[in-house]
């Protein structure tokens, strides 16, 4: 029964969207037609005709560009390999990491489970705090080493907004039904480990978050961005 209702909802939504797309194409064409007809009405109506034609042309051009962007996104090629300049950034980042770090580990089929999740109201939302938080959970779940996780798991750690944004940007990709870092995403996030630029992480904050994700506690050496209050302790399935 539920499946039939879902199919019905999808069908209604499809019909609605098809009708909306038809309407969006019809309105610019009506403006163009009105502009031509008014232009034949004499000098008094020329100004109105030109204005209507311009509005129709602009709306039609906007729709064409929107469709072209959708098509380009749908048929875009996978991210290209890292450029030499990006590779140098990665090498600089690795040089600053301890021996045997996760970036040198062998890829694993699935990500490591984490011990604790933070209440979503306490997650950092911007700046170094957010970059450090992201770096920490990607470290613990071994995303840099080829680990993957389901979209639902990633949403519980980082939120739907982050997942949707980086999927759209091409930093995350769907691989065998799970989400993983793309080559572009690996470069994007590993670059934050290189100190001295606006998007670099704070090593102390990263260490504090790694400790939290690994143990569920904030002990000595933790970060001021971490709070031990209102924690949601769960183990990822």
Q: Note the pTM of the prediction, 2 decimals.
A: 0.49
Closest CA to 189 of 153, 155, 139, 150: 139
pLDDT, tens digit (0-9, with 9 covering 90-100), for 114-138: 555 666 667 788 888 888 888 988 8
pLDDT, tens digit (0-9, with 9 covering 90-100), for 159-214: 888 889 999 988 899 888 888 888 888 888 888 877 666 778 888 888 888 877 77
């Amino acid at each position: 029964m539920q499946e039939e209702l879902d199919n019905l909802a999808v069908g209604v939504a499809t019909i609605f969207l098809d009708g909306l797309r038809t309407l969006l194409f019809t309105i610019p064409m009506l403006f163009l037609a009105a502009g031509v007809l008014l232009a034949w009405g004499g000098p008094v109506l020329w100004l109105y005709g030109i204005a209507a034609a311009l509005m129709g042309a602009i709306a039609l051009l906007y729709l064409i560009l929107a469709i072209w962007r959708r098509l380009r996104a749908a048929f875009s090629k996978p991210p290209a390999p890292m450029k030499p300049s990006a590779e140098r950034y990665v090498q600089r980042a690795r040089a600053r990491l301890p021996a045997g770090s996760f970036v040198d580990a062998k890829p694993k089929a699935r990500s490591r489970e984490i011990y604790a999740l933070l209440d979503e109201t306490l997650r950092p939302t911007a700046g170094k705090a957010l970059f450090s938080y992201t770096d920490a959970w990607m470290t613990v779940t071994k995303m840099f080493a080829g680990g993957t996780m389901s979209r639902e798991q990633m949403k519980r750690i980082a939120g739907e907004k982050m997942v949707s944004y980086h999927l759209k940007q091409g930093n995350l990709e769907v691989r065998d039904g799970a989400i993983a870092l793309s080559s572009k995403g690996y470069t994007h996030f590993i670059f934050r480990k290189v100190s001295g630029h606006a998007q670099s992480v704070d090593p102390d904050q990263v260490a504090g978050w790694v400790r939290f994700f690994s143990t569920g506690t904030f002990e000595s050496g933790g970060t001021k961005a971490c709070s031990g209050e209102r924690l949601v302790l769960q183990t990822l399935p």
